[in-house]
Structure 1
Amino acid sequence: MAAAPFPRSVTGRHVLIGLVIFFGIMFVANGLLVYYAVSTFSGGDRPNPYRSGLNYNETIAEAEQQAALGWSAKANYDKSAARVTLHFTDSAAAPVTGLALSGRLARPAVDSDDRVVTFREWREGVYVSDVTLDPGNWILSVESSKQEGGSPVYRLKKRLIVADGP
């Protein structure tokens, strides 16, 4: 006596449908992951990192020139006064005066709160900018030159943390 065939056996058609569904789900999931990876934060902190890499030797030379100045800079944010303060001193701890500063405040992960800030010399070696910052992490990028529109002499990048509450 011969065995009766199974009424519900797996056929080539079932295998094909299973493979199409499996790979369809994989393509959709990978497509979503690629979309979100490309459309969110790129991880770069410069607008054109490729060009910066091409000029890497010039970047190193500028950093050496900046180190040769012997300047130091401190940055802090006073929430009650809504003010960013920069203190510049030279290698002899004397205040550095007469700088033209251009700055930018940005969030580390998003660019929706980025803003340009202008600094004025408040006292010798102390530069201030009146700006109100929301609580959280901020990155302050400042370029200084000896004259307005001149080539940068000193670059500063500091992280400011604004506390939540008074």
Structure 2
Amino acid sequence: MSGDMQKPHGFTGKHMLIVIVSFFAVVIGVNVTMATLAQTSWTGLVVENTYVASQQFNEEARKGRAQAALGWTGKLTVAAGEVRYRLVDSQGKSVPLHGVRMLFRHPAYEAEDEAVTLAAPSGDSPGNPQEFAARHTPKDGVWIVEIDADAGLTSPFRDVRRVMILNGALQ
């Protein structure tokens, strides 16, 4: 018999250490990934009273269908320290407005919410008829913009959209 016979390799302490370190690396990696996704994608939408909101749902849905039937589209512009808004009908003609109010809601921090009242145009310029404007520069980030445009209907034309502001401009 020769002395160069090798022992079979078994499961050693090094192997166990690699298994344990790998397990915890996967767990920590998944936790960090999920926390990052939750932080960047959570809308923060919270209703103060869910019961009251559920009772109003059908009425709000009816208003939404009636508004959609009008075929109007809101045109929002945020650039150069100014916010502009106008409504156009299905043929692309401007809808006359009496007033426009906006609420810039931060998805996660209601302390950063900002209300803005837009002023009527100083004269009907052919380039931008009925385009209401205000000096306002929202902070960079994601915002939920709630727009109430008074077009002489029984309730304001409501336009709600989620927007991204980058370098003071709408993206």
Instruction: Give the TM-score of the pair, scaled to structure 2.
Output: 0.61
Percent of residue pairs identical: 23
Structure 1 gaps of 5+ residues are 1-40
- Is 1:68 aligned to residue 69 of structure 2? yes
Q: What's 2:157 paired with?
A: 154
Change in Cα spacing, 1:165 to 1:97, as seen in structure 2 (3 Å) is closer
Question: Would you say the 8 A contact 2:149–2:157 is kept in 1?
Answer: yes
Q: Distance in 2 between matches of 1:156 and 1:142?
A: 5
Aligned length: 122
Q: Is 2:142 the partner of 1:137?
A: yes
CA gap 1:139/1:44 in 2 versus in 1, 3 angstroms: closer
Q: Is the 8 A contact 2:120 2:133 kept in 1?
A: yes
8 Å contact 1:134–1:162 — kept in the other structure? yes
Query: Residue type matched to 1:103 in 2?
Result: M
Query: Residue 155 of structure 1: CA displacement?
Result: 0.7
Residue pair 2:144, 2:163 contacting (<8 A) in 1 also = yes
Deviation at residue 46 of structure 1 after TM alignment: 4.2
Aligned partner letter, 1:109: A
What is the 5 A alignment of 1:32-43? 43=44
Root-mean-square deviation (CA, aligned residues, Å) is 2.5
Tell whether 2:114 aligns with 1:115.
Answer: yes
Conservation of the 8 A alpha-carbon contact between 1:145 and 1:151: no
Q: Which amino acid aligns with 2:97?
A: G
Q: Which residue of 1 aligns with 2:39?
A: none
What is the aligned partner in structure 1 of residue 53 from structure 2?
Answer: 52
* Cα distance, 1:49–1:42 mapped onto 2, change above 3 Å: farther
Unaligned runs of 5+ in 2: 1-41, 122-127
